[in-house]
Amino acid sequence: MVEVFPYTPRKSQREIMQDITAVLYEKKHFVFESGTGSGKTVCVLSSTLKYALEHQKRIVYTTRTNAQQQQVILELRAIRKKTNDKRVFGVGMQGRANMCLLAEHDSEIINGTSEELSRFCSYQKKQTQSTKNKGCPFYRHFVNKKEQVETIVEWTKNNLPTAEEFAKHCNQNEICPYEVNKLLVHDAMIVIVPYVYVFDKSIRIKLLDWLAISDDEIILIVDEAHNLPEYLRQLFSAELSTWMLTGCMSESEKFGDPSLADGRVIISEFCKHLAEIVNILRDTYVYGILENGLRKKITQDYNDAFIPSHEFESEILSRFHITSKTLRDIISDLIAYGEKIQEYKQKDGKLPRSYLHKLGIFLEFWMNVEMDQYIKLVVDESQGKNPRIEGYCVDPSIGASIINEFHASIHMSGTLKPLEEYRDSLGLSKETSLVCYPSPFSLENRRVFFLRDVTTRYEDIANDKTIFSRLWQHISDICNTFPRNTMVFFPSYNTLSLFRDKGYFADITRCLYIEEQGMSQSELMGLVTDFKSCGSEDGAALFSVMGGRISEGTDFPAEELEIAVIVGIPYPKPTARQRGLQRYYDLKFGKGWEYTMEAPAARKLLQSIGRLIRDETDRGVAVILDKRAPRFHKYMNDMQESHHLVQDISQFLKTSG
C-alpha cells in the first residue's frame, strides 16, 4: 500500500491499511473507528485501490452528503499524482436534482423525488429523439455533439474534477452532466455516490447497469458509517399526512373526481375520510379526549404515540362498509389513476407528480408491513396543522442485506463505538472485523472537564429551579473570560431557544453567532465563516447543536476553535418512536438502552468534542456541563472532574501555548 499512499504514513495509518488488505483477501466486512484527522479516507482509498487494480474489482464509495464527496476526490488526485497511473480514475455522482441543468431554474424539478425525476428525464429524452424542437436541449447536445462529449470525457479523466466542478464544466458546454457521467462510470475504478445509490434497489440496479459488473466484483466503502442505520430506517419508513391528503383531494377534483372499486367510493370523499381518521387517531392517542370535549395532551413534550397495528384500516372498512378485498381494489385503482395522472403531467412538460399515486403506494405499504420490523405511529409535530400516521422501520438490516452480496465492505467513522451495535443493526456477520484505532494525536493536546453541579435532565431541572441559571453562569463565564474561539453545543434547538427566550444571550460580551434551525447550507457556511474571521481578532462564540451539520461535518483547525462547551447529555428524547426502537433492540439483542440511548448520545458528544483536534498541532479544551458525564468515561478515558472550571481552563491554555 505504501507505494500507492501519497504521504508519509504514520504508524496507525500503516495498521489501518494492512488490516483492510487482509479483509479484502478474506472477502469479509471490516468496521473500524479512527479519530477525526487520522487520515481514514486516504488509508481506505490507498488499500482498496491497490487491491482493486490487482484483482479486477471496482470500488463504490458511499457518503451521506454530497459535500463529503469532495475530500475523496482530493485524496484520489494525490494518489494519481503519486502513482502517475491513469487507471486511478474516479467519478463523483449525485442525484438528478443536483446534476440536471433544467432543474437549475425550476423549483418544481429540483424538489422532485428520484422516481419523479427519472420519469421526467426519460420522457424528455424521448421527446428530444422524436421531435426536433421539444425535449431537453442539453440531452440533444449530448446526442449530437459527439466530439464535444469526448472532449469532456478526456478532460474529466485527466483532471479528476469534483461533482460540482464537473457539472459546471458540462453547463459551460451546454451538455447534460448526468448523461456524460453515465459514460464515465463505465471506465471508473472508483465511483463516489450518496448512500441512496446503493441502498435504494431501483437506483442500485441502474448503477450496476452503468458499471456493467456483478455484485461480487464490488468493494463497498461506507463513509461516516454511524449515519447509515438511521438513514436506512428513514429510507424504508413511510408516512401519510393530512396535507398530502389535501393534495390528493385537489388532484382528484382537477381530474374529474373519479370513483374507485366499481363506483363504491368517490376519491375526494375517500381522502376526506382518511384525513378525519388521522385526526381522530391523533386526538385519541396523542391527546386523549375528556368527557367535556376538551383535549388534554397525554405525552407532555412529545408529539407521537403508538397506534394499534390494524386500527387505521379497520376504521376505513367500518366507515365505508367494505371488506379488506375491496380496500385492496381501491388501492389498486388509486395507483392506476395516479399513473395516468403522471402520464398527463409529463406530456404537459411538468414533473410527473401524483399525490393519488403516493397515497396508493402508502396504503399498499401500510397493509403489508411486517410488524416485527416496524412500529405504527401517529405524529403531530406542527401544533395540529399537519398530523400524520407513520410506519417507522426499526430494523435497518432490511435495507442492508445487499452488503453481503459484495466482494467485501469497509465501514468507517470517527465516532462509531460500540462497533457491535453497528454490526448487529445492519445484520452483518459475527465474523465481521471490528477495530478501534487509538488517536494518532497526543491526549496532552486536549482536556475534557465535566461538572457535577448541573445537568439538563428534565426531572432534576423541574425539581431545582437554580440549575438552569447555573448552567448559564458556566456558559457565560467561559465565553466572556477567554479570548479564544468557543463553540457551545446544546442538546437540541429547543434547549438553545430556552436560553435565548429568557434573554440570557445579551450577557455575552464577545461576537456571538447562533445556528438557526432550517438554515440553508449557504447561510450556515456564511455563519461559520463570520465566526472564524471575527474570532481571529478577539475570540468569538458560536452557539450550535449536537448532532447538527456544524458539530459533525465542519473543520475548525488551530485557533479557529479552542474551547468546546457541551451543554448536557444528548440522549434521544423518550418519544414513542424512540421507545419502540429501544423495545425492538431489547427483544432482538437484549441491549435496548445501550444501543438506542447510550450509543447515539456518546457519538454526538464525541463528534462535538472532535471539532477541537484535527491534526498534531491542534490544542483545545472541552467542558461537559452535566453530572451524568462519568457514564461515558469508557468513551473518553481522559475525562476529569473540575472543581474550579475557569482556573482549570486557564491553566491548560497557558501550558499548551
Look at the chain and report how many structural domains it folds into.
Answer: 3
Amino acid 54: pLDDT: 95
- 267/373 same-domain check: yes
Q: Is residue 194 within 8 Å of 58, Cβ to Cβ?
A: no
Given a cut of 70, is residue 121 above it in pLDDT?
yes
What average pLDDT does this structure show over 349-376? 94
Amino acid 475: pLDDT: 97
- What is the rounded CA–CA span in Å between residue 502 and residue 208? 55
- 283/379 same-domain check: yes
Given a cut of 60, is residue 131 above it in pLDDT?
yes
Given a cut of 80, is residue 333 above it in pLDDT?
yes
Q: Has residue 401 been placed in a domain?
A: yes
What average pLDDT does this structure show over 640-650? 95
* 70-112 residue pLDDT tens: 889 999 999 999 999 999 999 999 888 788 888 877 777 878 8
Selected residue with higher pLDDT from 409 and 35? 409
Q: Has residue 290 been placed in a domain?
A: yes
For residue 409, report the phi and psi dihedrals to the nearest 5 degrees.
-140, 145
* 366-396 residue pLDDT tens: 999 988 999 999 999 887 789 999 999 999 9
Q: Has residue 200 been placed in a domain?
A: yes
End-to-end CA distance of the chain: 37
- Which grid coordinates are listed for 307? 397506534
- 494/510 same-domain check: yes
Given a cut of 90, is residue 360 above it in pLDDT?
yes
The amino acid at residue 255 is: F
Amino acid 448: pLDDT: 96
Q: How confident is the model at residue 130 (pLDDT cuts 50, 70, 90)?
A: confident
**Residue found under cell 445509490:** 197
- 632/646 same-domain check: yes
Q: Are strands 511-514 and 540-545 parallel, antiparallel or unpaired?
A: parallel
* 513-544 residue pLDDT tens: 999 988 887 788 889 888 988 866 678 999 99
Amino acid 17: pLDDT: 96
The overall average pLDDT reported for the chain is 91
- 351/475 same-domain check: no
- 456/546 same-domain check: yes
- 337/208 same-domain check: no
Given a cut of 80, is residue 37 above it in pLDDT?
no
Amino acid 534: pLDDT: 80
Given a cut of 60, is residue 625 above it in pLDDT?
yes
- 453/527 same-domain check: yes
- Alpha helix segments (H runs only) across 299-402: 311-320, 324-347, 355-368, 397-400
End position of a domain, from candidates 385, 409, 436: 436
- What is the rounded CA–CA span in Å between residue 594 and residue 405? 29
**Residue found under cell 419508513:** 237
- Which CATH number goes with the domain that contains 282? 1.10.275.40
Amino acid 2: pLDDT: 62
Q: Calculate what percentage of the chain has a pLDDT beyond 70.
A: 97
SS3 561: coil
**Biggest alpha carbon distance in the chain?**
82
Given a cut of 80, is residue 51 above it in pLDDT?
yes
Amino acid 419: pLDDT: 96
DSSP code for 375: E
Q: Has residue 153 been placed in a domain?
A: no
Q: How confident is the model at residue 506 (pLDDT cuts 50, 70, 90)?
A: very high
Q: How confident is the model at residue 350 (pLDDT cuts 50, 70, 90)?
A: confident
How much is the pTM? Answer: 0.91
Q: Is residue 221 within 8 Å of 62, Cβ to Cβ?
A: yes
Amino acid 301: pLDDT: 60
Q: Has residue 342 been placed in a domain?
A: yes
Amino acid 133: pLDDT: 76
* 398-454 residue pLDDT tens: 999 999 999 999 999 988 999 999 999 999 999 999 999 987 777 788 899 999 999
What angle separates helix 177-187 from helix 163-172, to the nearest 10 degrees? 130
* 216-246 residue pLDDT tens: 999 999 999 999 999 999 999 999 999 999 9
Given a cut of 60, is residue 469 above it in pLDDT?
yes
User: Considering only CA atoms, which of 239, 237, 183, 234 is closest in space to residue 212?
Assistant: 183
For residue 389, report the phi and psi dihedrals to the nearest 5 degrees.
-105, 150
What average pLDDT does this structure show over 472-480? 96
- 266/336 same-domain check: yes
Amino acid 69: pLDDT: 87
Amino acid 553: pLDDT: 63
User: Range with the lowest mean pLDDT among 119-123, 134-138, 311-315, 548-552?
Assistant: 548-552
Q: Are strands 90-92 and 446-450 parallel, antiparallel or unpaired?
A: unpaired
Q: Has residue 102 been placed in a domain?
A: no
Q: For residues 2-34, b (16+ Cβ closer than 10 Å) or e, as one string?
A: eebbbeebeebbebbbebbbebbeeebbbbbbb
Selected residue with higher pLDDT from 64 and 625? 625
Q: How confident is the model at residue 655 (pLDDT cuts 50, 70, 90)?
A: confident
- Which CATH number goes with the domain that contains 522? 3.40.50.300
On the question of a cis peptide bond just before residue 194, with omega within 30 degrees of 0, the verdict is: no
- 624/521 same-domain check: yes
End position of a domain, from candidates 358, 393, 428: 393
Amino acid 289: pLDDT: 58
Q: Has residue 374 been placed in a domain?
A: yes
Residues 625, 630, 636, 640: is their CA dihedral positive or negative?
A: positive
Amino acid 154: pLDDT: 96
Given a cut of 80, is residue 613 above it in pLDDT?
no
Query: How would DSSP label each residue in 44-69?
Result: HHHHHHHHHHHHT-EEEEEESSGGGH
Rg (CA), the chain: 27
Selected residue with higher pLDDT from 30 and 510? 30
Amino acid 310: pLDDT: 94
| Domain span including residue 273 | 238-393
Q: Is residue 259 within 8 Å of 265, Cβ to Cβ?
A: yes
Q: How far is CA 253 from the centre of its chain?
A: 37
* 284-310 residue pLDDT tens: 999 875 545 555 555 456 789 999 999
User: For residue 468, with 0-12 CB atoms within 10 Å meaning exposed, 13-18 middle and 19 or more buried, which class applies?
Assistant: middle
- 422/500 same-domain check: no
What average pLDDT does this structure show over 350-362? 95
Amino acid 436: pLDDT: 95
- 602/576 same-domain check: yes
Q: Has residue 249 been placed in a domain?
A: yes
- What is the rounded CA–CA span in Å between residue 225 and residue 59? 16
